[in-house]
Amino acid sequence: MLKHTRVTDPQLYQLLEDELHRQEKNIEMIASESTAPLEVMELTGSVFTNKTLEGYPGKRFQAGSEIADEVEKLANERAKELFHADHVNIQSYSGSTANYTVYAAILDPGDKVLSMRLDQGGHLTHGSPANWVSKMYHFEFYGVNKETELIDYDALEEKAKEYKPKLIVAGASSYPRLIDYKRIGEIAKEVGAYFMVDMAHVAGLVAAGVIPSPIPYADFVTSSTTKTFIGPRSGMVFCKAEHAKTLDKGTFPGCLGSIQLHTMAAKAWCFKHAQSDEYKAIMKQILVNGKTLAKELADHGFRVVSGTTDNHLVLVDLRPKNITGKLFQNALDKVGITVNKNQIPFDPASPFVTSGARIGVTSITQRGLKAPEIHEIVEIMDQVCKAPEDEANLAACKKRAEALISRFPLYPAGSFDD
């Protein structure tokens, strides 16, 4: 692996080896992570990275674009076919910039946007005070019902009518249930707002058709291409035909610079791969594993937010276990299970401590883990909660976690041999 870097920069090479080893021996359950296919790594590390181009196929600002144009056109055609979309722009560098390109395309400074509260599932780029977008546009927020912990669509509708936003944003970072895109789309239409769905977390599930797609209902659909989509660290935006010119202009020159041909090529590979039976089987299994995880956690005395999950992540309330999200995350990290602390709806704890955790199943599903292994993982989590600061307890749990994951290779043997 990295035969040149190994010679010219042994220090950096060692860090890469260490990271590969960490990923191999850890049970990775960060909901936004997945394991990139080897082809994605080949293409993102290819000579495609050398080409600088601005603009769109047939309308570039630099010469030497013939092959790049073919790559971008191929990726666009495959993406539109896969997601049944009128138009796509795959120039975004990530899920965050995908959101920024839509804002740049349709909003003016001071415009009003209605989006999901950050502490109930929304994302930084949906108007967090910590993100620059909150300085540019006026954000108002909707959230979940305190009893059901599901999006309160009636309250959303009321807010939309009262606030009259130019844009309504749906989609989330830590919402375990399906979102009623049709309903929010109708509300947006009624108040004359654009409707954007950020499907960053669930794009793979949508691509495989195992959960409903937002594409028929939204003006714009943005996404990362990592997470459940299992692609390169990049982004994409879909839109209705009538917004195609606006989106493209807002993306370049409105928001971004030159294209990243290497990730574009990797995305093109993913759009084809996502049509395969192998990919669809993984996405189906992610849903099964998510439900299994939710049930196992509930059976072991954890409280599962909203009762279950319809996607790849479970949001768990740790208060019945008398442990904070911060301690849970840190103790599990020592054991070799990687999760992240997360606020739960109406959390009395700060975002730095939290009462909950977000646990995802994409990476473990790719590695082949199923119900018996998820049962063992939750048993380990339960045991960790009993004595999270007892080093002997954590060492025993770590042994169990290592024994479990060592049976499921991260990549096929020999993948990185020179």
The answer to whether 214 contacts ligand PLP (rule: CB under 6 A) is no
Residue nearest to ligand PLP (CB): 95
CA gap 248, 106 in Å, rounded? 11
The answer to whether 373 contacts ligand PLP (rule: CB under 6 A) is no
Burial of 372 (0-12, 13-18, 19+ CB in 10 A): exposed
Number of residues that bind ligand PLP (CB under 6 A): 14
How, if at all, do strands 112-116 and 167-170 pair?
parallel
Residue with tokens 């020592």: 334
**CA 271, 276, 280, 286 torsion-angle sign:** negative
DSSP label at 343? P
Name which position in 117, 123, 166, 177 contacts ligand PLP (CB under 6 A).
Answer: 123
The answer to whether 94 contacts ligand PLP (rule: CB under 6 A) is yes
DSSP label at 198? E
* Structure token digits, residue 34: 């997945």
* Structure token digits, residue 250: 């807002």
Contact call for residues 343 and 119 (beta carbons, < 8 A): yes
- By beta-carbon proximity to ligand PLP, the closer residue of 124 and 371 is 124
CA gap 230, 36 in Å, rounded? 6
- By beta-carbon proximity to ligand PLP, the closer residue of 266 and 397 is 266
To the nearest whole angstrom, how small is the minimum distance from the Cβ of residue 79 to ligand PLP?
A: 16
To the nearest whole angstrom, how small is the minimum distance from the Cβ of residue 171 to ligand PLP?
A: 5
What type of residue sits at position 247? L
Name which position in 198, 219, 310, 317 contacts ligand PLP (CB under 6 A).
Answer: 198
Strand order across the 356-360 sheet: 303-304, 313-317, 356-360, 340-342
To the nearest whole angstrom, how small is the minimum distance from the Cβ of residue 200 to ligand PLP?
A: 4
To the nearest whole angstrom, how small is the minimum distance from the Cβ of residue 94 to ligand PLP?
A: 3
* In 137-276, alpha helices (H): 153-163, 181-191, 203-207, 244-251, 261-273
Scanning 58-66, 166-174, 251-259, 394-402 for contacts with ligand PLP by CB under 6 A, the matching segment is 166-174
Contact call for residues 222 and 205 (beta carbons, < 8 A): no
The answer to whether 95 contacts ligand PLP (rule: CB under 6 A) is yes
Name which position in 79, 200, 261, 404 contacts ligand PLP (CB under 6 A).
Answer: 200
Name which position in 96, 115, 120, 366 contacts ligand PLP (CB under 6 A).
Answer: 96
CA gap 287, 2 in Å, rounded? 35
Contact call for residues 225 and 269 (beta carbons, < 8 A): no
To the nearest whole angstrom, how small is the minimum distance from the Cβ of residue 126 to ligand PLP?
A: 7
The answer to whether 40 contacts ligand PLP (rule: CB under 6 A) is no
Neighbours of 20 (CB within 10 A): 15
Binding characters for ligand PLP, 50-89, by CB under 6 A (x = yes) = ----------------------------------------
The answer to whether 201 contacts ligand PLP (rule: CB under 6 A) is yes
The answer to whether 213 contacts ligand PLP (rule: CB under 6 A) is no
Residues 271-300 that bind ligand PLP (CB under 6 A): none
The answer to whether 171 contacts ligand PLP (rule: CB under 6 A) is yes
Name which position in 32, 120, 213, 289 contacts ligand PLP (CB under 6 A).
Answer: 32
To the nearest whole angstrom, how small is the minimum distance from the Cβ of residue 225 to ligand PLP?
A: 8
Scanning 41-49, 182-190, 197-205, 348-356 for contacts with ligand PLP by CB under 6 A, the matching segment is 197-205
Scanning 14-22, 107-115, 169-177, 258-266 for contacts with ligand PLP by CB under 6 A, the matching segment is 169-177
Binding characters for ligand PLP, 224-263, by CB under 6 A (x = yes) = x----------x----------------------------
- Please provide the DSSP assignment of 248-296 as one string: HHHHTTTT--S--HHHHHHHHHHHHHTTSHHHHHHHHHHHHHHHHHHHH
Rg (CA), the chain: 22
Name which position in 44, 173, 260, 343 contacts ligand PLP (CB under 6 A).
Answer: 173
To the nearest whole angstrom, how small is the minimum distance from the Cβ of residue 131 to ligand PLP?
A: 11
Contact call for residues 349 and 355 (beta carbons, < 8 A): yes
- Residues within the interface to ligand PLP (CB under 6 A): 32, 94-96, 123, 125, 171-173, 198, 200-201, 224, 235
